[in-house]
Amino acid sequence: MFDETTYTDRRNKLKEEMVSGLVLLPGNNESPMNYPSNTYHFRQDSSFLYFFGIDKPGLAGIIDVDSGEEILFGDDIDLNALIWMGPQPTVKMLGKAAGVKETRSFSELEKVVKNAIEKGRAIHFLPPYRAENSILLEQITGIPHNMVSEKVSTELIKTVVKLRSVKEPGEIIEIEKAVNVAFEMHTTAMRMAMPGTYEREIAGCIEGISLSHGSPVSFPVILTINGQTLHNHYHGNLLREGRMMVTDAGHETSMCYASDITRSVPVGGKFSQRQKEIYEIVLSALEKATSLTRSGIPNRDIHLEAAAVIAAGLKDLGLMKGDVREAVQQGAHAMFFPHGLGHMMGLDVHDMEGLGEDYVGYDEEIKRAEVFGLKGLRLGRRLREGFVLTIEPGLYFIPALIDKWKEEGKFSSFINYDKVESYKDFGGIRIEDDVVVTEEGCRVLGKGIPKKISEIEEFMRR
């Protein structure tokens, strides 16, 4: 946890931003895998962590915007639980660490909320994403669980997004720690990317590296020789020469701050000419995007500049044709680059995505596009100093998508389908860094993980 003033200040800012009412922030509970006491790794709710910092199940927080009162609800464990779990801090101690003076038993929560409702006061809550919390909200507010999503507080969502989007110096230190663990994970994966090794051996090893630093990966590891499937979690293939291995993986620190890094390397450590050519295009797109990233620029514009680099590179190889800007404007490049350039990152790897992607990545000025490709961009709005985001261009040959567009004759004035046919066995390449936006530009976080072709070949040479 940060020190208590961090959480007190954040709650004070929340109170200043909100007009009136009660802010209700339920924490998460243990989640059973296959019977009640056999649970998944406990993961606290990120907004609860942001305002209270306590990484324990069975808690909820109330912040009264009008009176300024703050209450932490939870129950101390009994002797039986202590025998199995060992001594645990009391709710009072947890509250003190978060700067909250008043604590009450969990059953009091319902009374406090119902009392406020009876007085006609607004109860502000965020979109629940776990069934237990939808049921809790039904129990304490009387709103049927299948309707709570419609009753979430837009005012609270917007305020939380505003506060969480700009990272404090202490948060950037945490994120950078997570990137430095990712350095170890990715450099290990590179060393292991040799023919005859199974993907799962490498995936298991890098997940273990994350755990050896005290906490799990920030999202399920993507590690595959079939990088044309963007989120490929199948790890059963045997590595063979001629394929690129895409590793998209990150660590979550003990305070739950994420990293999200992608590297693509040739199995065996030596790029073929064809792999080099495609890789250089993606790397140029990453470099271009990184050079443009600074406070005040819409991330949508950076995405389109990266897309133009990709389209120009593909044109040089004869895979695309025609006017590059026009091709990007119409979305022809999206057959090769169907996803967005990046997303916010912090306490969630896709930061605050559960609050609603458009609240996080778009605003009154910049709305999400409808066109395939650009539609997938999670962060389009103007960047601000202190934002932490990923920059992750990619280039993929997705046989099913190629076949469909070819059959439809889609963008045939921009795509050279005959040439693309010969790349259907290529796979995909993605390169991803994590950056913090500064006044003048951006800073790539963490120790440099080999990225240039010469660096990767040198690193993988045995």
- Site residues for ligand GLY per CB under 6 A: 219, 248, 260
Does position 252 interact with Mn ion (CB under 5 A)? The reply is: no
Six-digit token pair at 195? 């023919």
Q: Which is nearer to ligand GLY, 18 or 249 (CB)?
A: 249
Residue holding tokens 């202490």? Answer: 170
Q: Which of residues 268-327 bind Mn ion (CB under 5 A)?
A: none
Q: Which is nearer to ligand GLY, 53 or 446 (CB)?
A: 446
Q: Which is nearer to ligand GLY, 219 or 417 (CB)?
A: 219
**Residues 271/356, Cβ–Cβ less than 8 Å:** no
Nearest distance from C-beta of residue 377 to Mn ion, angstroms: 12
Nearest distance from C-beta of residue 262 to ligand GLY, angstroms: 7
HEC per residue, 340-368: CCCCECCCCCCCCHHHCHHHHHCCCCCCC
3-state class (DSSP) for residue 254:
coil
Give the list of residues 6+ apart from residue 363 with CB closer than 8 angstroms, or none: 381, 382
Q: Which is nearer to Mn ion, 10 or 430 (CB)?
A: 430
State the burial class of residue 298 (Cβ atoms within 10 Å of its Cβ: 0-12, 13-18, 19+): middle
Tell me, by CB under 5 A, how many residues bind Mn ion. 2
Nearest distance from C-beta of residue 397 to ligand GLY, angstroms: 19
Q: Which position among 55, 171, 260, 434 is part of the footprint of Mn ion (CB under 5 A)?
A: 260
Q: Which does 417 bind (CB under 5 to 8 A by kind): ligand GLY, Mn ion, none?
A: none
Q: Which is nearer to Mn ion, 389 or 420 (CB)?
A: 389
Does position 218 interact with Mn ion (CB under 5 A)? The reply is: no
Q: Which does 45 bind (CB under 5 to 8 A by kind): Mn ion, ligand GLY, none?
A: none
The CA distance from 152 to 164, in Å, is 18
DSSP state string for 367-426: PPP-STTGGG-S--SB--TT-EEEE--EEE--HHHHHHHHHHTTTTTTB-HHHHHTTTT-
Does position 348 interact with Mn ion (CB under 5 A)? The reply is: no
Does position 351 interact with Mn ion (CB under 5 A)? The reply is: no
Count of CB atoms within 10 A of residue 62's CB? 23
Q: Which is nearer to ligand GLY, 174 or 432 (CB)?
A: 432
432 beta partners? 262
The CA distance from 238 to 225, in Å, is 9
- Among the listed ranges 105-113, 255-263, 400-408, 452-460, the one in contact with Mn ion (CB under 5 A) is 255-263
Does position 433 interact with Mn ion (CB under 5 A)? The reply is: no
**Residues 432/260, Cβ–Cβ less than 8 Å:** yes
The CA distance from 413 to 269, in Å, is 37
Q: Which does 28 bind (CB under 5 to 8 A by kind): Mn ion, ligand GLY, none?
A: none
Helix axes 131-141, 108-118, angle to 10 degrees: 50
Nearest distance from C-beta of residue 185 to ligand GLY, angstroms: 13
Binding mask 382-401 for Mn ion (x = CB under 5 A): --------x-----------
Sign of the torsion formed by the C-alpha atoms of 112, 117, 122 and 123: positive
Nearest distance from C-beta of residue 230 to Mn ion, angstroms: 10
Q: Which is nearer to ligand GLY, 70 or 260 (CB)?
A: 260
Nearest distance from C-beta of residue 391 to ligand GLY, angstroms: 11
Does position 247 interact with Mn ion (CB under 5 A)? The reply is: no
Q: Which of residues 46-75 bind Mn ion (CB under 5 A)?
A: none
In one-letter notation, the amino acid at residue 246 is V
The CA distance from 333 to 317, in Å, is 14
Give the list of residues 6+ apart from residue 240 with CB closer than 8 angstroms, or none: 195, 225, 267
Count of CB atoms within 10 A of residue 251's CB? 29
Does position 45 interact with Mn ion (CB under 5 A)? The reply is: no
Six-digit token pair at 207? 């997940």
Nearest distance from C-beta of residue 136 to ligand GLY, angstroms: 29
Nearest distance from C-beta of residue 357 to ligand GLY, angstroms: 12
Nearest distance from C-beta of residue 341 to Mn ion, angstroms: 10
Count of CB atoms within 10 A of residue 170's CB? 13
Q: Which is nearer to Mn ion, 133 or 390 (CB)?
A: 390
Q: Which is nearer to ligand GLY, 70 or 392 (CB)?
A: 392
State the burial class of residue 91 (Cβ atoms within 10 Å of its Cβ: 0-12, 13-18, 19+): buried
Nearest distance from C-beta of residue 219 to ligand GLY, angstroms: 6
Q: Which is nearer to Mn ion, 134 or 232 (CB)?
A: 232
The CA distance from 389 to 221, in Å, is 19
Nearest distance from C-beta of residue 201 to Mn ion, angstroms: 24
Q: Which does 70 bind (CB under 5 to 8 A by kind): ligand GLY, Mn ion, none?
A: none
Q: Which is nearer to ligand GLY, 171 or 248 (CB)?
A: 248
Sites of contact with Mn ion (CB under 5 A): 260, 390
